[in-house]
């Protein structure tokens, strides 16, 4: 059986209008709700999403990323992925989510 990594979410606010959200561990059926429940601070105009620490993601995790992006945009913030693993980049290409998320250069 595969060992699961609990999801850890780190939030850094380098300015009053920007936040950086870093995910570490597994983003899956069991942990996706943690991301979708995350409240963005009022006034945030830019959300940087760091996915370099994501060890595993399933369809629920991908859906959570889409919902998180929608919530950010609905609150007036632009979401930008600033780091992604080769595994996740490949998965996002296969599911065409690389067209929805502006991924950093490989």
Q: Would you state the pLDDT for residue 15? A: 85
Check if the beta carbon of residue 47 is closer than 8 Å to that of residue 70: no
Per residue of the chain (106 residues), what is the pLDDT tens digit? 567 889 999 999 888 899 999 999 999 999 999 999 998 888 899 999 999 999 999 999 999 999 999 999 999 999 999 999 999 999 999 999 999 998 998 8
Q: Would you state the pLDDT for residue 89? A: 96
* DSSP structural state of residue 65: H
**Dist. CA 29–CA 64, nearest whole Å:** 9
Domain ranges of the chain: 8-94
Copy the structure tokens of residue 39: 């409240």
* Class for the domain spanning 8-94: alpha beta
Check if the beta carbon of residue 72 is closer than 8 Å to that of residue 79: yes
Q: Would you state the pLDDT for residue 2? A: 64
**Dist. CA 33–CA 30, nearest whole Å:** 7
**Residues 6 or more apart in contact with residue 98 via CB below 8 angstroms:** 89, 92
């Amino acid at each position: 059986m595969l060992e699961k990594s609990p999801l850890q979410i780190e939030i850094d606010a380098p300015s009053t209008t920007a936040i950086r959200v870093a995910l570490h561990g597994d983003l899956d059926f069991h942990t996706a709700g943690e991301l979708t429940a995350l409240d963005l601070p009022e006034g945030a105009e830019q959300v940087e999403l760091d996915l370099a620490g994501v060890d595993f993601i399933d369809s629920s995790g991908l859906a959570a990323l889409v919902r998180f992006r929608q919530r950010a945009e609905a609150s007036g913030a632009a979401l930008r992925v600033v780091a992604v693993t080769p595994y996740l980049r490949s998965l996002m290409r296969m599911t065409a989510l690389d067209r929805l998320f502006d991924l950093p250069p490989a």
